[in-house]
Structure 1
Amino acid sequence: MKKLLALMLAAFAAEAAHAMPLTVPQIQTASTQTTRYDCKDGKSVSVQYTNTRNHQSFAALTVDGRKLLFVNVIAGSGAKYVADQYTWWTKGPQANLYDEMAAKEAPPLLADCAARKK
């Protein structure tokens, strides 16, 4: 598992204009979707969601200039993804990005983000 995550993180960390597709033969992609979110503070973020045939889910997004691969984890409601010290949590079309190392009272890094309508 560590080797797989290292390969995925390396692929998303590439700063090329056209990133090479991520290929891990043991984990086959079932679907990919990119969603753009507009946040309350005027910022926006693009998130690429990947679902696999073995029922894993990933979200790739850029945080503080770093391209990160978030892995879906269990949540009471919505879809919760984690990478490094960050949590990307979606509930329907809404989403927030949290820094788990920030003070407990700290606001989300990205708050009240809403998926753009297609």
Structure 2
Amino acid sequence: MKAFLSAAFLLVATGAASDSFIVPQVKFGPPVVATYHCPTGKPFTVTYWNGDNGQSFALMPIAGKPTLLVNTLSADGVRYAAGSIVWWTKGSNADLYDARVDPEKPTLAGCRSR
């Protein structure tokens, strides 16, 4: 799984698949691109891919580097995670958590896509 994510990350992050996310065993629809504005900081873009197997992925900048997150279990909204990072979206709102800082309190709260 780790090798798969590394390969997928390289494929997407290098721009080789800017319009698609390629995993031969899973079909993905066109990417959904959203720009988020947060109370602090400059706007940033998140690209989402939804697979026909129920999985979805989000590619977003974390500490200035493109980071690929995968959806995980959530009672409300869509929760994406990679390592200690969690990006939790609910409609057009989103919060970023870093478990190394505080798993219960967002490190970036009140983000909204337009």
Same-fold call, TM cutoff 0.5: yes
Identity over aligned residues, as a percent? 37
Give 1:8 deviation, angstroms. Answer: 1.2
* Residue of structure 2 equivalent to 1:4: 4
Q: Which runs of 5+ in 2 are unaligned?
A: none
Alignment of 1:20 onto 2:19? no
Give the one of 101, 107, 110 matched to 2:108. 110
Q: Give the superposed CA RMSD.
A: 1.7
Aligned equivalent of 2:58? 59
Asked if structure 1 preserves the Cα contact closer than 8 Å seen for 2:26 and 2:52, the reply is yes
Per the alignment, residue 29 of structure 2 pairs with 30
- TM-score, with structure 1 as normaliser: 0.83
- Contact 1:78–1:91 (CA under 8 A) maintained in structure 2: yes
Structure 1 residue 104, shift from structure 2 partner: 5.3
Question: Residues 43 and 62 from structure 1, CA distance in 2 versus in 1: closer, same or farther, beyond 3 angstroms?
Answer: same
**Pair 1:75-2:56 in alignment:** no
Distance 2:103 2:51 in 1: 34
Write the deviation string for residues 49-97 of structure 1: whole angstroms up to 9, x where unpaired.
1001112100100110111110000111110000121000011111011
Number of equivalenced pairs: 111
TM-score (norm 2): 0.86
CA distance in 2, matches of 1:51, 1:114: 20
The question of whether the paired residues in 1 share the 8 Å contact of 2:97 and 2:103 is answered with: no
Query: Which structure 1 residue ranges, 5 or more long, are not aligned?
Result: none
Q: Is 2:92 the counterpart of 1:86?
A: no
